[in-house]
Amino acid sequence: MAAAAAAAVSAVLLLCLSSHIRADSAGSTEEFDVMPGGLDHMYTRKQGDFSCSFHYAAQGGTNENWHMSIGVDEESRYFSCSIWRPLGTSYLYFTKFKVEISGGIIEYFEAYSQADKPLKKSEYVIKKTIVSDVPGSFSSSLCKLTLTARSPHVEL
């Protein structure tokens, strides 16, 4: 019951923060290829003082088209970063992942495996600016990652 309440609070927090997030004038989403082969890869997107990097290694299949978007609120106090497979299902086996941000501190994170099934909290660890898989606990399945971060800047 407590887990359901925490999930509901997290969802409400994300919706509240997301309602104040705006896309940049050039469009908020970019496409990139997630490549198998077991090698480490990274894709980074920046907007103003904020950046979001997706580090991963994957096996199986062929390249897949993924998307990344960053949105920033009007006062530049919060930003969001989302990384997802637009087709919803990834056929790749992720051996590891890490999302690293700059310009803020992570306040909310959610990751999904196939069929919009949330990853278990035991599959990843959240630090101030980094979320990464937990080796041995991560199920190796991803299709969507999303986070909201708060800028550490204090208004005078």
Q: Per-domain residue ranges for the chain?
A: 2-150
Q: What is the mean pLDDT of residues 134-154?
A: 93
Is 6's pLDDT higher than 90?
no
Residue that has been written with the tokens 């919803």 in this structure: 88
Q: Which two tokens stand for residue 60?
A: 């199986």
User: Is the CB of residue 53 less than 8 Å from the CB of residue 10?
Assistant: no
Please check the confidence at residue 4 and state whether its pLDDT lies above 80.
Answer: no
> Quick one: which of 91, 116, 122 has its CA closest to 3?
122
Asked if the model's pLDDT at residue 90 lies above 60, the reply is yes
The per-residue pLDDT for range 27-75, each reduced to its tens digit, is 379 999 999 999 999 999 999 889 999 999 999 989 999 999 999 998 8
Strand, helix or coil for residue 18: helix
Q: What is the identity of the amino acid at 154?
A: V
Band of the pLDDT at 81, cuts 50, 70, 90? very high
What pLDDT band is residue 154 in, cutting at 50, 70 and 90? Answer: low
- Is 127 a residue whose pLDDT tops 50? yes
Q: What is the pTM assigned to this prediction?
A: 0.82
| CB atoms inside a 10 Å sphere around CB 133 | 21
| 34, 68 Cβ separation under 8 angstroms | no
